[in-house]
Amino acid sequence: MCGILLRVSKEPIKKPLCIPQPIQTLQGCSDLSSEIWDTTDPDVIKSFLQQGEKLRPLSPQQVRKLNSLDELRDLTKQLAKVKNNVKLLQEVKEDQVRNIQDQIDDISREDEDNYDDKNHHHTDVNKHGSKNKEEKEDREDKEIESLIYKTSNRGPNYLNYTQFKIDDNYYFQSFSAILSLRQPFTKQPIFKDEFVLQFNGELYNSECLETNDTQYIIDLLHSKIKSNKDRKSAILNTLKELSGEWAIILVDLRECRVYFGRDPIGKRSLCYKVSYDSNRIKEGQQQQQQQQQQQQQQEEENEKEGIEIIISSNSGIGFLECKNEIYEYSLAHNSKGLISHKLKEVARPTFELPDERVVLAELKKQLRAATKIRQDSIHPLTHLPNESALAVLFSGGLDCTIVARLICELINNSNGHTSLDLLTVGFENPRTLQAADSGPDRKLAIKSWFHLCHMFPKLKINLVEINVDYQSWLSHKSRVKELMYPCNTEMDLSIAIAFYFASSILPDLTSAKCLANDNVSWEEFVNNQEKYTIKQEKYLSSAKVMFSGLGADELFAGYSRHEGIFNNINVDNISGDESNYIELAESLNYDIEIIHQRNLGRDDRVMSCWGKELRYPYLDEDFISWVISTIPPNMKFKYSFAKDKKGKNRLVPIRKYILRKLAEELGMSWVSQELKRAIQFGAKSAKLEIGQSKSKGTDSL
Ligand SMILES: *[C@@H]1O[C@H](CO)[C@@H](O)[C@H](O)[C@H]1NC(C)=O
Ligand SMILES: *[C@@H]1O[C@H](CO)[C@@H](O)[C@H](O)[C@H]1NC(C)=O
Ligand SMILES: *[C@@H]1O[C@H](CO)[C@@H](O)[C@H](O)[C@H]1NC(C)=O
Ligand SMILES: *[C@@H]1O[C@H](CO)[C@@H](O)[C@H](O)[C@H]1NC(C)=O
């Protein structure tokens, strides 16, 4: 995995100050003169990482809030009491409520975050005229440096900064940071056939399991150029063949175009910002300024011309997230702006009912294959045999427990590593003083972990518990907001911050458990947990790859909105439910189509900052196509009726039916009945903002 960054400008651009001197000059690289700096020196890299990890100090108001938690809790209790007091006169009550709420607000309010521009998608670079040029350049320097640091966090093994230009027209700055997981370790960017390639991803095409994937793309592109009618078709046809999780930036030096985008699901993050300049004047043209000004303003109205584009795994103010498509940005004629190309469509759903047992067997096989290919390709460079090479984001629920179970089986059958980390996160609740390890996810995680340990006594399965206190939450919050941008709702934050800490490497928050006795029964264990566990404080997971169960809810109908489609079912006559199932199938397809925007970009940005990468077995492209075209919606969502107390028929829904069957098939009946709980509720990261007036999850922060 890596972080990639490319900046292309029609004006000369300065080397960022954070790139150390000297920088080596290479001539003859495709007739380009390029300047390069790169390093594998851990000390140098460390200084970059530290810059990226820097947390903003708590503001005086935040400190005050932290010191007033007891008072806040008191006030919150008082408030509830007043509100529930039926004897109070309405007016008196309102008065008291207002009074207490004001006190609460005064303590719990937070200072405005500066990181909050919402609508400036396209910044006018030169809005304030050239007298502010220095100020503006200063701001741009800071922006690019901040992106460079964030990019470094994603790839802590190798950094490469390269700048080059085409004639005196186009100026390029590229920065790549690589986390090496595979041998041989490919350095970036790659120049070949007048292309410059930056690639962040993992490919599972069978041909490239033997070679490195960046090389594979370049070779494929090379062969496509010979067989396609033009360079653009060659590029798009190459990208269509890539199978895996990736984001890419590819510059075509010959035709002066930049192609960039994400895989057809959108598993890796990529963001961009185009800057437009209306009246920037090139050096040496100063005198003509007067005459030209009028004309230029005219042109500006007619045709805004992009003068600079920045594309990055991370984002900054004004950035937009790429869709699950490939964008084409032409440097020469940019009047059309960006053109986007869709590589693949989601498969068409089936409504034919196959035999359940056949489907189950095939489902197991397909999901196992998608998991195996993601596990096989991890060859960490430095790992001790007793360290875990991989981890699972683990709430203990259905989706991730199935993934964990399949991984255990694979490890159990191999001769390599025998250790696995299950990562579970919880948040302290400052309002109720509920401890971080007492949320519903934790209880479930312990149960599922215990049963997995029982199933696989040969393995060392660590339950890695990350317990986040309120102060840590407060300290890291602004970093998470910055990383997840342009996602910016309350709900985004509560989900993102849970994932951020789940993947963190913060020893003070982290401990690991393993089971001391494989023979103890669950009933015995659950009442004497301390006795039967070996606990290691300040544990740091060495796994660089994390598996996630994301995608199961989208593929198999796990959300309440899916269930909602069946609200209007007539309990006395269900023969009309075809239309509900058609709607469900459409809704599921849409969920897959949009998951890049709802989840994947955000989650990638907040988790990769720890130098770890995510893999999603359920979001394997072949697996998705197979599920959609083989499993009809009425094997995903099922319902029956039961009489309630009044003797009326009520709908009893079963979400993710076939996946629950799979869990049973895999010997995990303990989890097959589990209800769905969103991470922000399971880990209790939602609504940590204490005392604040109510806001909807979808409100912007
Ligand atoms: C990537 O793989 C190709 C093919 O195996 C090899 O020729 C090349 O040297 C590798 N690149 C690096 C940087 O190791
Ligand atoms: C860094 O990237 C440049 C291409 O931009 C390449 O020529 C150079 O070899 C890379 N550095 C290393 C050590 O691979
Ligand atoms: C784990 O591997 C052992 C052989 O080493 C095998 O006997 C056992 O059945 C395997 N367990 C599971 C659950 O697959
Ligand atoms: C049940 O619903 C179907 C379709 O909505 C309708 O054609 C049929 O007549 C209904 N049957 C009864 C018994 O109401």
Kindly write down the DSSP assignment for every residue of 243-254, as one continuous string: -EEEEEEEEETT
Mean pLDDT of 139-162: 92
What's the pTM? 0.89
* Ligand 2 pocket test, candidate residues 160, 166, 173, 190, most atoms within 8 A of CB: 160
How far apart, in whole angstroms, are the C-alpha atoms of residue 374 and residue 547?
A: 9
> Of 658, 681, 664, 671, which is closest to residue 588 (Cα–Cα)?
658
CA distance linking residue 201 with residue 245, whole number of Å: 5
Q: Which of 316, 33, 63, 42 is nearest to 191 (CA)?
A: 33
Tokens representing residue 674 in the block: 């589990």
Task: Tell me which H or E stretch contains 465.
Answer: strand 460-468
Q: Is the CB of 458 under 6 A from ligand 3?
A: yes
- Predicted confidence at residue 636, as pLDDT, reads 97
Helix or strand or coil: residue 17? coil
Query: How many angstroms does the Cα of residue 15 sit away from the middle of ligand 2?
Result: 16
Amino acid at the residue 560: S
* pLDDT (tens digit per residue) in 551-609: 999 999 999 999 999 988 877 777 778 999 999 999 999 999 999 999 999 999 999 99
Counting Cα atoms < 13 Å in the Cβ hemisphere of 601 gives 30
pLDDT on residue 260: 98
Using pLDDT thresholds of 50, 70 and 90, give the confidence band for residue 418.
confident
In what helix (H) or strand (E) does residue 398 lie, and over which residues does it extend? helix 398-413
Ligand 1 neighbours, Cβ below 6 Å, are 184, 186-187, 211-212, 215
Based on its alpha-carbon atoms, the radius of gyration of the chain, rounded to whole angstroms, reads: 27
Digit-coded pLDDT (tens) for 53-87: 999 999 888 899 899 988 988 998 899 899 898 88
Stronger pLDDT, 275 or 456, i.e. the higher one: 456
**Which residues are bridge partners to 308 per DSSP?**
9, 275
- Angle at CA of residue 509, ends 504 and 513, nearest 5°: 95
- Ligand 2 centroid–CA 343 distance in Å is 29
Strands across the sheet containing 24-29: 24-29, 32-39, 158-166, 170-178, 2-9, 306-312, 271-276, 320-321
High-pLDDT (> 90) share of the chain, %: 58
In this structure, the number of other CB atoms found within 10 A of the CB of residue 320 comes to 14
CA dist., res. 609 & res. 615, Å (int):
15
Q: Are 400 and 548 in contact (CB under 8 A)?
A: yes
Beta strands in 155-270 (DSSP E): 158-166, 170-178, 190-192, 195-203, 244-252, 257-262
Q: Chain-wide mean pLDDT for the chain?
A: 86
Nearest residue by C-alpha to atom 13 in ligand 2: 38
Name the more confident of 256 and 211. Answer: 256
pLDDT of residue 686: 74
CA 101 to chain centre: 36
Tell me, rounded to whole angstroms, the distance of Cα 587 from its chain centroid. 22
Domain boundaries, the chain: 2-54+137-278+297-342, 60-108, 357-551+596-635+678-683
Cis peptide before 486 (omega within 30 of 0): yes
The pLDDT assigned to 649 comes to 82
Please report the pLDDT score of residue 189 as a whole number: 87
Contact residues for 595 (Cβ-Cβ < 8 A; gap 6+) = 265, 266, 550, 551, 554, 619
| pLDDT bucket at 464, cuts 50 / 70 / 90 | very high
Tokens 């040496």 belong to which residue?
284
Predicted confidence (pLDDT) per residue in 195-231, tens digit: 999 999 989 988 776 677 888 999 999 999 999 999 9
Kindly identify the ligand whose nearest atom is closest to the C-alpha of 37: 2
Can you read off the two tokens belonging to residue 429?
A: 């609740």
Question: Does domain 2-54+137-278+297-342 fall into CATH 3.30.420?
Answer: no
Task: State residue 676's pLDDT score.
Answer: 66
* Ligand 2 atom 12: residue of nearest CA: 187
Residues with Cβ within 8 Å of 120's Cβ and at least 6 positions away in sequence, in order, are 317, 318
What's the rounded mean pLDDT across residues 292-297? 53
pLDDT tens profile 243-255: 999 999 999 999 9
Tell the residue number behind the tokens 């093994």, with chain if given. 157
Question: Is there an atom of ligand 2 within 6 Å of 189 CB?
Answer: yes
Whole-number Å distance between alpha carbons of 377 and 369: 13
Task: State the average pLDDT over residues 671-695.
Answer: 67
| pLDDT confidence tier of residue 466, bands split at 50, 70 and 90 | very high
Quickly count: other Cβ atoms within 10 Å of residue 32's Cβ: 19
Straight-line distance from the first to the last Cα atom of the chain, in angstroms, rounded to the nearest whole number: 30
Instruction: Tell the CATH superfamily of the 357-551+596-635+678-683 domain.
Output: HUPs (3.40.50.620)
Q: pLDDT tier at 121 (50, 70, 90 boundaries)?
A: very low
- CA distances in angstroms from 579 to 348, 555, 576, listed in the order given: 16, 19, 7
